[in-house]
Amino acid sequence: MNKIITITFTTVLALLSTVTNAASHSKSIYINQYDTNNDGNVHLAEFDNARQNNFNNTDENKDGAVSENEYIFEYQDRMDKQLTLDRLVQVKQTTVRFKALDKNENAKMEWQEYQASGVRSFTKYDVNKDGTINDLDPEPKRKTEKKTVEKTELQLAQEKQNKLNRAKRLLRMPTTHDRKGFFIKYDLNQDNIITQEEFNQRRRQDFDRADEDANNWLTEQEYIFEYENRLDKKIASTRKAALKQTHIRFNVLDKDEDGAMTFAEYQLSGHRSFTRWDTDKDGIVNNLDPAPKKNEYVSNNKTAKSSNTNY
């Protein structure tokens, strides 16, 4: 019984942390989108003006209303630009990973080098050292970061920009840097347990898939090409899901169901979002506003999922 209670409590804490982080990231995007004078504050008048400009730019034929096609085209254009940027960043990071794994710097990633990285990853998550990774393993201890006071203004500004860029990303590949991504990749039979055998099997499969000439080592080109294939599949599925959601959003916003979204209809959603983020009710959205309550954030965030938009 104690074991079950401990696991459940840990799961609840993890969920609360995830919701809080998601809300924080969404607010950073929100402020960035509507803070037109870059002072870190979004006043209601400033918000309304930015929304009017967004609406006017989406209304291509200037008839005073946004059709479903106009709405989808505007979002698709922004989405494709963001996905292109995301892909470039991911490929660049893949080059960095190759060089980090090629320990002897001979421009070849040998199986032993690749597997050594895998051993480090498995050891990281197998905290209780029983040879399996499951709910009994506590979260790995994180490295202590440098104190904020030691960072220069330039470093803090760059850190803030990096966080914003990460929050804006639409292309999100499973990553072994967090427990969720680790299980997505390596829990082959989806029983919430990763055995050493499962882990080694998946590592070998990944390596062999990239090793096109089957010589038991990877060139940088082979390593990147395999990852690009997975990236492009993910981009296709992300676009499909996001465009489907965009159709749904338009129908939600078009309250009178006449196929044309007026600015008044558009602002009903806009003012709901402003009220949601302006939690201290002072008419300004900024980082001093506490995060919305969990249930409110989850409920209101459903229609915006995978969209990176505040329509």
Could you read off the pLDDT of 95-128 as tens digits, one per residue? 999 999 999 999 999 999 999 999 999 999 999 9
pTM, 2 dp: 0.78
* DSSP state, residue 40: S
Phi, psi dihedrals of residue 195, rounded to the nearest 5°: -85, 165
Q: Which two tokens stand for residue 86?
A: 């995301």
Picking from 292, 299, 309, 278, the residue whose alpha carbon sits closest to that of residue 46 is 278
* Span 71-97, pLDDT tens digits: 999 999 999 999 999 999 999 999 999
